[in-house]
Amino acid sequence: MSEAALAKEAAALDAADGLAAKRAEFDLEDDCVYLDGNSLGALPRGVAGRLSDVVGREWGRLRIRSWEESGWWTAPERVGDRIGRLVGAAPGQVVAGDSTSVNVFKAVVAAIRLRDTGSRDEVLVDAATFPTDGYIARSTARMTGCRIRVVDAADMAREAGPRTAVALVNHVDYRTGRLHDLPAVTAAVRAAGARTVWDLCHSAGALPVHLDATGADFAVGCTYKYLNGGPGAPAFLYVRRALQGRFDSPLPGWNSHADPFAMDPAYAPADGAVRGRVGTPEILSLLALDAALDVWDGVDLAAVRAKSLALTDFFLRCVEAYVPRGRVESVTPEAHGERGGQVSLRCAAGPAGGAGDVMAELIRRGVVGDFRRPDILRFGFTPLYTRFADAERAARVLAEVLEGTRRQ
């Protein structure tokens, strides 16, 4: 198909896009092709004003009174419930705070402590996991006398057995964009008598997640990608309601105490999601995230998913039409049921250099994706602000870079 035909198709798809108006809620230049929302989401326009008020009025004038009068103290649960709606969790099961790494640690140790027998001494880890998850898992294994067994996420369901205490799985592979079967893996691990900890960093806000409906035990995720919370935004922790009374956090901070201001030297855990807190909440970044989540008000996750799949399908068609054969290869699954919200292309070295050089030139020409060593170009498609015209332009500029030309 010709460039003119694909550009015309992109315009028609954008005109029919039910989410198109959402782009105006983000601080993006009209000519910006930003395809790195799977690393850092774009800035929602409402965040700057909200932070100005938090700093100038709540902190600047109300000062200490804001813990009560401005609702700072309960912000982790309030923001957690807003995230919960986006990951299929009823209120009272998600708390916002700390980093993803810290929350992985809490969840994995807590899952091990829930085991029904000491013979469950095995932690299954997704072979393609994000490195931090693996680091944390190995540390928890050393601390708890468990052993790590690394398995492919696709094999996790059948690998769980009588020795398994917990399975730590990435819902979407950060490198390839492969979506793993959360319901099936959760059911199989549970049938084996073990617990699941799901890493939702690359799925929260990109596609519907049904934590309650699927019986997931624990889940963690960051909020600075598809949820647009900003660099270093607080992460979140999900603890299934049925487990909350037995959730034994390895980080029993004063904020998770049943009566924090009693300053009791003996720890007594609070009820509910509050038990997932540790120390004083990161108020500035937490309230920036709270404001960022306003863009999700009234948004149907099914519509987000439908547009995400349409965008990635269209981008792959454009790449096939524009890019010289053999120069790139998609490592993202074609099947919709196995695809997250990004497209990853393996890029062989050529006249334009290696994949890192290609991405640097794409960024210089106004198409922002990212590069993962040694040879992966990643393009994240964020349905709230990515246009079909962006997908077409990205594929066209990629072809130009690989050919060493600039088309007129």
- Name the packing angle between helices 46-53 and 283-292 (round to 10°): 140
Contacting residues for 16 by C-beta, under 8 A, at least 6 apart = none
Separation between Cα atoms, residue 319 and residue 332, nearest integer Å: 13
- The separation between the first and the last C-alpha atoms of the chain, rounded to the nearest angstrom, is 18
Enzyme catalytic residues: 130, 199, 224-225, 378
**Mapping DSSP to helix (H, G, I), strand (E, B) and coil, where does residue 406 land?**
coil
Find residue 198's DSSP bridge partners.
169, 219
- Tokens 């996420």, located at residue: 153
Separation between Cα atoms, residue 141 and residue 138, nearest integer Å: 5
Cβ atoms within 10 Å, residue 214: 18
Separation between Cα atoms, residue 35 and residue 381, nearest integer Å: 6
Strand 94-96 and strand 33-34: the pairing is unpaired
Residue 136 · residue 161 · CB < 8 Å: no
What distances in angstroms separate CA 257 from CA 70, 73, 270, 295, one per listed residue? 21, 13, 5, 33
Look up residue 57 and give its DSSP letter. Answer: I
What is the helix (H) or strand (E) element at residue 186, kind and residue range? helix 182-191
Which pair of structure tokens corresponds to residue 389? 């015209």
Residue 374 · residue 355 · CB < 8 Å: yes
